[in-house]
Copies of this chain bind each other. A is one copy, B any other.
Amino acid sequence: MLQLLEGGKRIHCHDNLEHTAKSKLEAEDPKNKPECFGVFCLTYDLKAEEETKSWKKLINIAVSGAAGMIYNHLLFKLASGQVFGPDQPIALKLLGSERSFEALEGVAMELEDSLFPLLREVIISINPYEVFQDVEWALLIGAKPRGPGMERAGLLDINGQIFAEQGRALNAVASRNVKVIVVGNPCNTNALICLKNAPNIPAKNFHALTRLDENRAKCQLALKAGVFYDQVSNATIWGNHSTTQVPDFLNARINGLSVKEVIKDQKWLEEEFTEKVQKRGGVLIKKWGRSSAASTAVSIADAIRSLITPTPEGDWFSSGVYTNGNPYGVAEDIIFSMPCRSKGDGDYELVKDVIFDDYLLKRITKTEAELLAEKRCVAHLTGEGIAFCDLPEDTMLPGEM
């Protein structure tokens, strides 16, 4: 089932589904090997299409997260060309678990049936060392949800171990400039653990997703100001993707004006706005009985597009990134959501022209303290000694009830 690249021709050994199933039985431990799926196992000459259709070179994208709903929405967005563009063929490498393997095959069948012209390869495996081979993007959605009675320290440990392993695997086999977006919670500290276990990949390449929070903040500011959401810009989420997150109304703009000039209700801004953003996920679960999978997938697509297209003049986007050398005085060596700009090359720089006031600084200090405590609590996973859990309080993740 090995996949070989020879002069632009991708060669696989199967020619139909039955054959795939048969080979699976024959292999020693098939679930540890990457398995191409159905029609995606075929031999074809992609180089010809790259030339005749002016397509870019195929890129490998790894996605973890079993067969959950965020995942399901995201894969179809990726495969449709909506995220990386209509001239970018892609290979999807799906990281599953023993338990989710059949579900992943179901997803792969639906991807087959969707006839996406840009989706050229689909590989399923439960081994991150196979899945992450040469990937240029790793979208890490999979994480265990907090079980009943589990404390945040327990959640940090159980998920941290997953992300430590994934970091080691990325370090060993991924593209040297892989971009990693961590969605699985607690995503900031998971991203920190991941990067600490991948010393050969630039720390700058690791992101924790706070884009859904940013999108929600924009929407709430738009609603309050009575304008459509496309009029809101320069929204920042500072800090942790948890209830200590700081949606920034000091620097945000509405139709180019400072939010405070447009929304003259300081009490609403200080007391209601942040809570609305933080609790949005929970309200949605109450309404619908489901967590916000579709809008999370949209925000992951937004996060990717923000890195591969130039940021509009004067605007920025939020991402949880590594703090070393940050201009805001935030503690070094953590993953902290901050305002970023990109030239569209996959890289970003931190925005310098932001302002602070006492209210904003106080709240940033609180979310920073939480992240520093989370860091101490996972020291055993970052190679920094013995963990010591003194989490300031048992904060919740956005959406947790």
Q: Which residues of A are in contact with B by a Cβ distance under 8 Å?
A: 15-17, 38-39, 42-44, 67, 72-73, 75-76, 80, 82, 102-103, 105-107, 109-117, 120, 212, 215-216, 218-219, 222-224, 226-230, 280, 283-284, 287-290, 292, 294-295, 297-299, 302
Contact among B113, B229, B284, B299 with A212 in the assembled complex (CB-CB below 8 Å): B113
Contact among B75, B76, B82, B219 with A113 in the assembled complex (CB-CB below 8 Å): B219
Q: Whole-angstrom distance from the CB of A130 to the nearest CB of chain B?
A: 21
Cα(A43)–Cα(B103), bound, Å: 44
Decide if A110 touches B294 in the complex (CB within 8 Å): yes
Q: Whole-angstrom distance from the CB of A63 to the nearest CB of chain B?
A: 14
- Given A102-B288, A227-B44; A219-B39 close (CB under 8 Å): yes
Q: Whole-angstrom distance from the CB of A104 to the nearest CB of chain B?
A: 9
Chain B residues, Cβ within 8 Å of A113:
212, 215-216, 219, 280, 292, 295, 298-299
Contact among B17, B73, B107, B215 with A288 in the assembled complex (CB-CB below 8 Å): B107
Decide if B42 touches A295 in the complex (CB within 8 Å): no
Chain B residues, Cβ within 8 Å of A109:
280, 283-284, 287, 292
Decide if A223 touches B16 in the complex (CB within 8 Å): yes
Chain B residues, Cβ within 8 Å of A117:
230
Chain B residues, Cβ within 8 Å of A229:
39, 112, 115
Decide if A224 touches B110 in the complex (CB within 8 Å): no
- Given A115-B219, A215-B115; A287-B39 close (CB under 8 Å): no
Decide if B106 touches A230 in the complex (CB within 8 Å): no
Cα(A223)–Cα(B21), bound, Å: 14
What residue in chain B is nearest A16 (Cβ atoms)?
B223
Decide if A15 touches B215 in the complex (CB within 8 Å): no
User: What are 27 A-B residue pairs whose CB atoms fall within 8 Å in the complex?
Assistant: A16-B223, A17-B223, A38-B219, A38-B223, A39-B222, A39-B229, A42-B222, A42-B223, A42-B226, A73-B73, A73-B294, A76-B298, A80-B82, A82-B82, A102-B288, A109-B280, A110-B284, A110-B295, A113-B215, A113-B292, A113-B295, A113-B298, A114-B215, A114-B294, A114-B295, A115-B229, A116-B298
Cα(A299)–Cα(B287), bound, Å: 29
What residue in chain B is nearest A301 (Cβ atoms)?
B80
Cα(A106)–Cα(B291), bound, Å: 9
Cα(A102)–Cα(B295), bound, Å: 17
Besides A42-B222, A76-B297, A110-B295, 11 other CB < 8 A contacts? A16-B224, A17-B223, A39-B223, A39-B228, A42-B227, A73-B76, A80-B298, A103-B287, A105-B287, A110-B284, A113-B299
Cα(A103)–Cα(B288), bound, Å: 4
Q: Whole-angstrom distance from the CB of A62 to the nearest CB of chain B?
A: 19
Decide if B288 touches A106 in the complex (CB within 8 Å): yes
Cα(A113)–Cα(B298), bound, Å: 9
Cα(A132)–Cα(B228), bound, Å: 24
Q: Which of A73, A120, A228, A283 has most chain B Cβ within 10 Å?
A: A228
Cα(A230)–Cα(B227), bound, Å: 44
Contact among B80, B112, B297 with A219 in the assembled complex (CB-CB below 8 Å): B112
What residue in chain B is nearest A107 (Cβ atoms)?
B288
Decide if A44 touches B228 in the complex (CB within 8 Å): yes
Q: Whole-angstrom distance from the CB of A263 to the nearest CB of chain B?
A: 11
Cα(A105)–Cα(B76), bound, Å: 24
Chain B residues, Cβ within 8 Å of A110:
284, 292, 294-295
Q: Which of A110, A116, A283, A284 has most chain B Cβ within 10 Å?
A: A110
Q: Whole-angstrom distance from the CB of A225 to the nearest CB of chain B?
A: 9
Decide if B284 touches A106 in the complex (CB within 8 Å): yes
- Given A219-B39, A288-B67; A294-B76 close (CB under 8 Å): yes
